[in-house]
Amino acid sequence: MEKVVIAGTGPAGLTAAIYTARANLNPLVLEGPAPGGQLIVSHEVENYPGFPETISGAELMQRFREQAERFGARMQLSAVQKATKSGSVISLETDHGVIETETLIVATGAEARRLPIPSEPPFYGKGVSGCATCDGAFFRGQDVLVVGGGNTAMEDAMFLTKFANKVTIVHRRDYLRAAPIEVEKCRNSDKIDWLIPWTVEEVLGDVSGVTGAILKHSDTGETKQVACHGIFVAIGHDPKTEPFADLVERDEDGFIIAEAGTTRTSTPGVFACGDVRDPQYKQAVLAAGHGCMAAIDTEKYLGQRE
Ligand SMILES: Cc1cc2nc3c(=O)[nH]c(=O)nc-3n(C[C@H](O)[C@H](O)[C@H](O)COP(=O)(O)OP(=O)(O)OC[C@H]3O[C@@H](n4cnc5c(N)ncnc54)[C@H](O)[C@@H]3O)c2cc1C
């Protein structure tokens, strides 16, 4: 029987690992399908405090990991397939067998939805981005596209006008899901153009990154090429919570519901931290902060049981 299992090795899971390991709780950390988490693909992280000269996402996460291992966190290359609780025992079916544990910290993240076209993956993190807050400042004076028609797309477009020369919102339907007030703000910006209803058919680029895109009109099928250096995809996130569906309550989009101000979920002994419970901010420093909270909540829970 494990005392603490942590699912996920992004900033949230590894921070929880550092804290629980330092508290002598001997955590077992399951790395899941993407060791290091989402930041691994980011070439430059400019907003993580403590690194004034910028650091690559891969190096930052390697440092998190070394710090957790220094205090004795045990890493295992496996993923939770299904989690249940019976009595006080949490059972995790993993691809390496069943693990039983007293507590579980879920830090499995939320993946930004990607453009479903073969030319997108080679440019992800090299011009195509799922995070305007993270990458907007790299596109000063350049032309960028924002793909999507919801509130996030409108907010991203407005945010990007601080840096970009021109922002073009590309949306596949005539209808925008975003709140009218957000749409209005964008309509009033002379830096924002609209291509509606168009879809991105192909990302164009070379070794330097993205150079443009081929767009297709949703009704007529007409295609055209546009020049741009960045493509911000704002079509939603998929929280990685399916394996925990029978264990904890989730909201309509699949994010784990945690009690406000804590990381406690609907199931005692199960804690959620990072993007998996954060539909709003999705930043590494917050994920790390949540990881710290989850470790402290876990320690308190175990202490009370003893
Ligand atoms: C391209 C890009 C650039 C970014 N740049 C920045 C930036 O500059 N600054 C910033 O603050 N934020 C940035 N972000 C956002 C930041 O990466 C996320 O907010 C942060 O990584 C969330 O951390 P997390 O630990 O909650 O989840 P993640 O980093 O998503 O980690 C999730 C972990 O869970 C594991 N996992 C998934 N499913 C399972 C399972 N079933 N069982 C076990 N483990 C599982 C995965 O393998 C992974 O290790 C960026 C994101 C992207 C995509």
pLDDT tens digits, residue range 14-64? 999 999 999 999 999 999 999 999 999 888 899 999 999 999 999 999 999
Is residue 131 part of the annotated active site? The answer reads yes
**Nearest residue (CA) to ligand 1, atom 45:** 32
CB 186, CB 179: distance < 8 Å: no
**Tens-digit pLDDT profile for residues 224-265:** 999 999 999 999 999 999 999 999 999 999 999 999 999 999
Rg of the chain on CA atoms, in Å: 21
Q: Are 172 and 200 in contact (CB under 8 A)?
A: no
Spans of all domains in the chain = 2-111+237-305, 114-233
pLDDT given at position 44: 86
Cβ atoms of 295 and 285 within 8 Å: the answer is: no
Nearest to 4 by CA among 301, 304, 306: 301
Q: What is the pLDDT of residue 168?
A: 98
- Cα–Cα dist 157/162, whole Å: 9
State the pLDDT at residue 188. 97
Provide the pLDDT for residue 22.
Answer: 98
Task: Establish whether residue 42 lines the binding site of ligand 1, counting it when its CB lies within 6 angstroms of any ligand atom.
Answer: yes
Is the CB of residue 18 below 6 angstroms from any atom belonging to ligand 1? Answer: no
The alpha carbon of 208 and the centre of ligand 1 are apart by a number of angstroms equal to 25
Q: What is the CA(163)–ligand 1 centre distance, in A? A: 25
pLDDT at 305: 87
Q: Whose CA is nearest to atom 39 of ligand 1?
A: 32
**pTM of the predicted model as reported, rounded to 2 decimal places:** 0.89
Mind giving me the DSSP string for 178-204?
A: S-HHHHHHHHT-TTEEEETTEEEEEEE
Q: In this model, does residue 107 exceed pLDDT 90? A: yes
pLDDT recorded at residue 41: 81
83 Cβ inside 6 Å of ligand 1: no
Q: Is the CB of 58 under 6 A from ligand 1?
A: no
In this predicted structure, the answer to whether residue 280 has a pLDDT above a threshold of 90 is: no
Please tell me if the CB atom of residue 137 comes closer than 6 angstroms to any atom of ligand 1: no
Neighbours of 221 (CB within 10 A): 7
Ramachandran angles phi, psi of 78, nearest 5°: -150, 165
- Check residue 263 and give its pLDDT: 98
* pLDDT tens sequence across 140-166: 999 999 999 999 999 999 999 999 999
Q: Indicate the top mutation candidate among 18, 29, 42 to test ligand 1's pocket, ranked by most ligand atoms within 8 A of CB.
A: 42
- The fold of the 114-233 domain, in CATH, is FAD/NAD(P)-binding domain (3.50.50)
Residue 4, Ramachandran bin (φ over 0: left; ψ between -120 and 50: alpha; else beta)? beta
Phi/psi of residue 2, nearest 5 degrees: -80, 155
Residue 75, strand partner residues: 29
**Which superfamily, per CATH, for 2-111+237-305?**
FAD/NAD(P)-binding domain (3.50.50.60)
Whether 2-111+237-305 shares its CATH topology with 114-233 is answered yes
135 counts as catalytic: yes
